[in-house]
Chain A
Amino acid sequence: MKPEEHSRRQQELAGWPVTIETYKLGDVYHCTIANVDPGARFARADGSTCEEAESRAIEKATRYLAQTRKFEV
């Protein structure tokens, strides 16, 4: 199968730049979210629409990012 509607964009979530990548395979939309630096995937979700997959993944990502602490250096 060919992936369809592949998209990749950067935006900010909970104060952190992230990359959101989504594609459709068969009837399922897959969304993954990675931090921009260092580039690790840390949240993903599936859905029957692009919006559903992305909103689920963004909800998870926002929750995980809120736990990342910053220290003064």
Chain B
Amino acid sequence: MTPQTLPSVLVTTEWAAQHATDAAVRVVEVDVDTTAYDQGHVPGAAGWNWTTELCDTLVRDIVPVKKLEELLGKTGIDNKTAIVLYGDNNNWFAAWAFWQLKIYGHEDVRIMDGGRKKWLAEGRDLSTDKPSFPAKTYKAGGPDFSLRAFLPEVQQAVAGKKAALVDVRSPQEFTGEILSPPGLPETCQRGGHIPGAKSIPWGKNCNEDGTFKSFDDLKALYAAQGITGDQPVIAYCRIGERSSLTWFAMKHLLGFEDVRNYDGSWTEWGNLVGAAVEKP
């Protein structure tokens, strides 16, 4: 996509550089590697840790509403703030944060196209200062669970074929050759994929520089697998962050109406006693 055609949910690295310290804007880095923020970040950006701040640390669940309100408040974000998210791995966990903020009804959330990868490649300024922000009061809406798929809905999708399932993991994970991405801990008992799922790895959404592909390219990518937005779609991966990126692409770049992220993903399905597994 060119800057002229970017949808309102994407900003360029240049836009972020110009607006990172605007009072009405808050730039936030969210990384897979939770130490990446400390290695230098966009000047003025806050950093959120997905393992402690964007989830329920007792029960496996997304961030509880009160915890989210506290996090946003202490990050100087109120309901009118434009939140610009970015991170490593082409914005995996930035998309995870975006998805949760939409569940809780935040209106103006955007992603910095290309994320940390593009920012670094362009040689832009990095800061190791941790900025502090004047506390704000935040009142969350929702939750809008039409954006989220729970296990029973996935089981119904498999049984009734009323929703398309998109597996965004790597081909080796999809086939069951490996149980987790190389170098990361195995988090399932069985390999393979949910019966009937289409393999569309998350990386196919992106260009080499980390930015999202054009509308036409994305449309062709999904149409080639029969995913056109005419029927509900459920995306999943291993723990729900890669599928957040695919959910973002389908929901907010392609405009598909009914797209859900199954954040239980393979760590739920691949550990479920008696669940059917398909292995090509």
Contact = CB atoms under 8 A, between A and B. Distances in A.
Interface string A60-73: 01001101111111
Nearest to B185: A67
Nearest to A33: B183
Contacts of B178: 68-71
Interface residues of B, number: 43
Contacts of B89: 34, 39-41
Nearest to B242: A38
A12 B210 CA distance: 22
Question: DSSP class of B's interface residues: helix, strand, loop or mixed?
Answer: loop
Contacts of B280: 73
Contacts, number: 109
A25 B175 contact: no
Contact of B126 (A21, A25, A72): A25
B153 interface: no
Contacts of B201: 37-38
Contacts of B180: 68
A12 B242 CA distance: 24
A2 interface: yes
B176 A71 contact: yes
Scoring B89, B173, B182, B201 by chain A CB atoms within 10 A of each residue's CB, the highest score goes to B182
Contacts of B186: 69
A40 B181 contact: yes
A48 to B, nearest CB: 15
Contacts of A70: 177-178
Interchain residue pairs A-B with the least CB separation, the first 4: A42-B183, A64-B183, A35-B182, A41-B33
Interface of A: 1-3, 6, 8, 16, 18, 21, 23, 25-26, 30, 32-35, 37-44, 46, 61, 64-65, 67-73
Interface of B: 31-33, 35-36, 39-40, 88-90, 92, 120-121, 123-128, 169-173, 175-186, 191, 201-203, 242, 279-280
28 contacts: A1-B125, A1-B126, A2-B123, A3-B126, A23-B120, A25-B128, A30-B40, A35-B183, A37-B171, A37-B172, A37-B203, A38-B173, A39-B90, A40-B92, A41-B31, A41-B32, A41-B33, A42-B33, A43-B183, A61-B183, A64-B183, A67-B185, A68-B180, A70-B178, A71-B191, A73-B175, A73-B176, A73-B280
